[in-house]
Amino acid sequence: MTGDPQDEAALWRAVVGGDPAAFGLIFDLHKDRVFRHAVRWHGAGPESEDTVAVAFLELWRRRTDVRLVGGSVLPWLLVTTTNVVRNQARAERRHRRLLSALPRERAEVGADDAALSSVRLIDPTLRNALARLSPEDAALLVMLSFEDMSVADVAAALGITTQAVKTRLHRARARVRPLLDTTSAHDVEGVTR
Amino acid sequence: MTLTLDDAYSRALRRALVDHAAAHGVRRRARWRPALAVGAATLTAGTGLAAAVGAFDAPGSPLVQPLAGTVTVEGVGTQIVDLGVAPPGTTAIEVGLTCLTPGTFTGADGASLSCGPSDAGRATATWRLPASPGTTGTTIDAGPGERWRVTGAYSAVTTTEWGVNADGLTYGVANGRGTPDLLAVIATNGADGYVYSRDLTTPDPAGLQTGTFERRRLVLPVFEPDGKTQVGEFNVGG
């Protein structure tokens, strides 16, 4: 399976038509990227694995609402992952039965330190600050600051205009800045493409 | 070194997700008529980008031609399913898998069906496997004592041509060749029609050829293939 957007768009059509095998292939394509996004919030523990599970369950549940960006579901999926993290307890209650059937025997995920250090984490100070934003503002701030998505892609994933993304980004930064120390403040600043 | 999801967890989660999708998806009774099956699904979904694809039997849809009769085979555990020799022109096998006991049953492409006691004899998964002339069947992977029934039929799948209207615009469903100018959808009023595909993907209201943004929702007119006669509306997002 390649990352060819044409292939992914075709796969996604099959998923929307109810094809479980195609859904498995979409999982193969994006599971690691979604996991790394979850790790930014939770670290490399079981909580991040559960976030991946819930994000993909939400992808299936809401498959007729998903917006493809550049032929890919990934931007929508990352935004959804951020929302899952913010409401992790509620999201896990919804999918409790499936989560309880997944392997739990490992105390630690066992990622090696070199791999983990390649992921830029969202520190607790920033996490608390993001919790005060609306889900959409938190998602766009994180997508632009941590996932290196373009304004156009974030706009398409959220279903709002590029101008609205820029306006909200400005407002979101202004709201969280007073709550941050130097390190986490640096994380949410940056060029807006 | 890139951080990846643990292998064991990933495999277990993949299987659980595919099973979940099979149990909570759209049951497609006639897999060899996928365009119609997808249409029924999107019609009830109402709105969404999804409804843009395969919405009805529009130009550019896959055309599935059965090449041989359906063969039914029952088996236990892991077994080769002998469907006979695939005739010339074969591109796919239309597979239907029913579990006859609880268990997890996996097809040649990794698709799997997990069944509990109440599913036995009732849960069926249908899908399409790629195949070529001379193929003699497929395989089902299952645990010892786990019983299943497979129906298989060789078919030739081709993609029909998009239509072209008086203005030279293509219309139909997106497929391996790309996206036509006018994309097939089902309107909110249930009418079959087409939206301008470029307007489905624009994030910027200023770039819209037709339609409007109303709060977070994109509202597009749905047209006849001529791209001018409106038959309904199509909503994205919101």
Fold of A120-192: Arc Repressor Mutant, subunit A (1.10.10)
pLDDT tens profile A137-168: 999 999 998 888 889 889 888 888 888 999 99
Q: Would you say B155 and B94 are in contact if contact means Cβ atoms under 8 Å apart?
A: yes
pLDDT tens profile B169-223: 999 887 777 788 998 877 777 678 888 988 876 656 666 777 776 666 678 899 9
Question: What are the beta bridge partners of residue B194?
Answer: B184, B223
> Is A31 an 8 Å CB contact of chain B?
yes
Percent of chain B with pLDDT over 90: 28
Question: What are the beta bridge partners of residue B221?
Answer: B233
Residue A20 is nearest to which of B6, B18, B49, comparing CB atoms? B18
Residue B3 is nearest to which of A17, A44, A63, comparing CB atoms? A44
pLDDT tens profile B117-160: 777 777 777 778 889 999 999 999 998 999 999 999 999 988 88
d(CA A115, CA B117): 42
Query: For A136, which residue in chain B has the nearest alpha carbon?
Result: B216
HSE-up (13 A, CA, CB side) for residue B45: 31
Q: Would you say B81 and B140 are in contact if contact means Cβ atoms under 8 Å apart?
A: yes
* 3-class SS of residue A49: helix
Residue A67 is nearest to which of B41, B49, B109, comparing CB atoms? B49
- Kindly state the tokens that stand for B29: 């009774």
Q: Would you say B66 and B153 are in contact if contact means Cβ atoms under 8 Å apart?
A: yes
pLDDT at A56: 95
Q: What is the DSSP string of A115-155?
A: HHHTSPP--HHHHHHHHTS-HHHHHHHHHHHTS---HHHHH
pLDDT at B138: 92
> Is A76 an 8 Å CB contact of chain B?
no
In 3D, which of A154, A155, A77 has the Cα closest to residue B203?
Answer: A155
Give helix A135-145 / helix A74-86 axis angle, nearest 10°.
120
Question: Does ipTM top 0.90?
Answer: no
d(CA B77, CA A123): 50
Question: What are the beta bridge partners of residue B185?
Answer: B193
Q: Would you say A158 and A77 are in contact if contact means Cβ atoms under 8 Å apart?
A: no
Count of C-beta atoms within a 10 Å radius of residue B116: 11
Q: What is the pTM of this model?
A: 0.51
d(CA B136, CA B85): 5
Q: Would you say A83 and A158 are in contact if contact means Cβ atoms under 8 Å apart?
A: no
pLDDT tens profile B62-106: 788 889 888 999 999 999 999 999 999 999 998 888 889 888 888
* 3-class SS of residue B126: strand
pLDDT at A143: 92
Cα A97 to chain centroid, rounded: 22
d(CA B131, CA B137): 9
> Is A17 an 8 Å CB contact of chain B?
yes
Q: Which CATH architecture has domain A5-99?
A: Orthogonal Bundle (1.10)
| Residue A64 distance to chain B (closest CA, Å) | 5
Domain ranges of chain A: 5-99, 120-192
Mean confidence (pLDDT) of chain A: 82
d(CA A153, CA A144): 10
Cβ of B174 within 8 Å of Cβ of A9? The answer is: yes
In 3D, which of A40, A33, A44, A53 has the Cα closest to residue A108?
Answer: A44
pLDDT at B237: 56
